[in-house]
Amino acid sequence: MTGKQDILLSKKRIDDRVKELAKEISLHYKDKNLVVVGILNGAFIFLSDLVRSMSVEHRIDFIRVSSYGKNTSSSGIIQLTKDVELEVKGQDVLLVEDIVDTGNTLSWLQTHFADKEVASLKICSFINKKERRVADVEVDYYGFDVDKGFLVGYGLDYNEQYRYLPHVSELNLD
Ligand code: IMP
Ligand code: MG
């Protein structure tokens, strides 16, 4: 990233919000059969912080889909490149995503998990970006709402770069 980037979400703000989310989620899934499913690669940092602040028992698995090419807008065509490996039939699945943009990825995944006959499916996204939403998906839990912009850091990438940043910045594409 060239030039100075303003920090949109500081590490402290992120940490505080993730702890709040973990508390809310733990209350909801008390006495349920929770499987937390992270969507690779973007959700790995958010998921690892979230689950370590959760106080409810759960198992963890990952799924990977590709929808983005090497640019900043969704192709709308979703390809499953790695499925979950745990048996999720009859389980309460919480899908953990880095950012919901058009909603195409999650809309596809909702059908994918419905086909697996899960008992329930909810979505938890670190960022809920609403401006380009085309698919009608309900984001049950989210860390932060943003209107627009291309964000990087805390798992979010641009061409696989910047995921490691402990804060979130807006990428300046000029
Ligand atoms: P959707 O299918 O358009 O909702 O796209 C979701 C995926 O697009 C996310 O999992 C991200 O990988 C990627 N994406 C969308 N917006 C951003 C962004 O601002 N920064 C980084 N990745 C993004
Ligand atoms: Mg992603």
For position 62, which CATH number holds? 3.40.50.2020
Mutate which of 98, 130, 148, 162 for ligand 1? The one with the most ligand atoms within 8 Å of its CB, which is 98
How far is Cα of residue 37 from the mean position of the Cα atoms in its chain? 10
140 part of a folded domain = yes
- The alpha carbon of 23 and the centre of ligand 1 are apart by a number of angstroms equal to 25
> Residue 125 falls within a domain, yes or no?
yes
Examine residue 124 and state whether it is found in any structural domain, yes or no: yes
> Residues 49, 92, 101, 157: which is the catalytic one?
101
**Rounded to two decimals, what is the model's pTM?**
0.94
| Cβ burial, residue 136 (10 Å; 0-12/13-18/19+) | exposed
Q: Evaluate whether residue 78 is within a structural domain.
A: yes
Instruction: Calculate how far, in angstroms, residue 131's C-alpha sits from the geometric centre of ligand 2.
Output: 17
Q: What is the pLDDT of residue 80?
A: 97
Determine which residue's CA is closest to atom 19 belonging to ligand 1.
150
Residue type present at position 42: G
Total domains in the chain come to 1
In a domain, 28, yes or no: no
Task: Decide if 49 is catalytic.
Answer: no
Which ligand has the nearest atom to the CA of 157? 1
Give the model's pLDDT for residue 73.
61
Domain assignment of residue 78, given as a range: 4-23+33-172
Ligand nearest to the CA of residue 163, numbered in listed order: 1
Residue 16 falls within a domain, yes or no? yes
Each residue's pLDDT tens digit, 102-157: 999 999 999 999 999 999 999 999 999 999 999 999 999 999 999 989 999 999 99
The answer on pLDDT for 160 being more than 60 is yes
